[in-house]
Structure 1
């Protein structure tokens, strides 16, 4: 099997089960036109995020790493009328593209994009004293994943689902001697989940149009 096969299988399931509408297609087009990196989730992965949000009855979602807002749209569509999604983005250009994409999708009333370093924004978010988040999607700079997990736990409740994206790194995650800061960030993130008695976690490797990677799932138990 190779990348062409993986992409063909993704295309088959996406065409059958995950039809994109114009707002989603336009979000990808506009992100490409603005030269954003093509790091958004695949359509079937976006639908998975949406289903997970619906399964856990999410009313408040936290996304760390907005990019062009593609995954944001998928998840925000799972929210009830009074639901809210807070998305943190370091790059102002990316955030502006995301805001346009989210506005076109008719979701501006549900999505709050905040610009800055997540490490600075997360303490501010915690100080606001809002309700805990029901789902937290971590998809930003991997070296800081351990920090993001720490704050996710502070902003969570029992039952909150924490999802970590891009945790396989083309298989490099198994190399303890890797000099790649992204790999080491993911490894430490995984080790912290394993060691935390508040979490019940797993991770899955995936192949598809986005290559060989995977995601972690952790449920806050207490």
Structure 2
């Protein structure tokens, strides 16, 4: 399920204005089909960083740096967004974009598996974005959970759209049962995991491809 184009366009108009680097990144995503959160969700990433007064953001999967760029815009000058990526070329591109935008000084670039990388970072991690392999979402949450302070948020992309049919994820979440689709199962398992965690309150941001927002309350 995706949000109607006119709603997305309206939301983008209301949201933070993109700079030239973000416009270029959006053009790249459109031309290549590379999956990004898009400008509407991007504006919310910037907003979340500011709302929780984030000093550190950690990303599970960064691609060429699109979401990290939005996060960096919401961080203080001494803040830090940690990008993780297994593709060295994409990570190099991310570094170039953030340098051109003037945000490289608040970014750290980690080549390798994000779930292994997060062990190197001590708490607090104020904002987390989970956007790696869908069947590893629960694993990512478990790896970072204890590093998130009260008031911090964990965001997970692709809750309503992605490499699966919405009907399948809807069935799994609402009706339960099993599925041969590992991606849909991974997302459903993630929603069950965070939804059953008494230390977090989870809601759905129904923009882009759907973002689960889990705020730590205890």
TM-score norm. by structure 1 comes to: 0.85
Cα offset, 1:30, TM superposition: 4.9
Structure 1 pair 30/99, CA: closer, same or farther in 2 (3 Å)? farther
**Partner SS, residue 80 of structure 1:** coil
**Partner SS, residue 179 of structure 1:** coil
Whole-angstrom distance in 2 between the partners of 1:217 and 1:105:
27
CA contact (8 A) 2:29 2:36 kept: no
Structure 1 pair 102/31, CA: closer, same or farther in 2 (3 Å)? farther
2:213 corresponds in structure 1 to 217
Deviant stretches of 4+, over 4 Å: 30-33
Out of 139, 147, 152, the position equivalent to 2:139 is: 147
Whole-angstrom distance in 1 between the partners of 2:14 and 2:191:
33
**Contiguous gaps of at least 5 residues in structure 2:** 173-177
Whole-angstrom distance in 2 between the partners of 1:113 and 1:17:
27
Out of 121, 129, 140, the position equivalent to 1:137 is: 129
TM-score norm. by structure 2 comes to: 0.87
Whole-angstrom distance in 1 between the partners of 2:126 and 2:28:
30
**Partner SS, residue 118 of structure 2:** helix
Question: What do the CA deviations read for 1:175-198 (whole angstroms, capped 9, x no partner)?
Answer: 333211111111111111122221
Whole-angstrom distance in 2 between the partners of 1:191 and 1:12:
32
Matches within 5 A, 1:45-194: 45-123=41-119, 125-126=120-121, 129=122, 131-169=123-161, 170-171=165-166, 172-176=168-172, 177-194=178-195
CA contact (8 A) 2:15 2:43 kept: no
What is the RMSD computed on CA atoms of the aligned residues?
A: 2.1
Cα offset, 1:71, TM superposition: 1.1
CA contact (8 A) 1:27 1:70 kept: yes
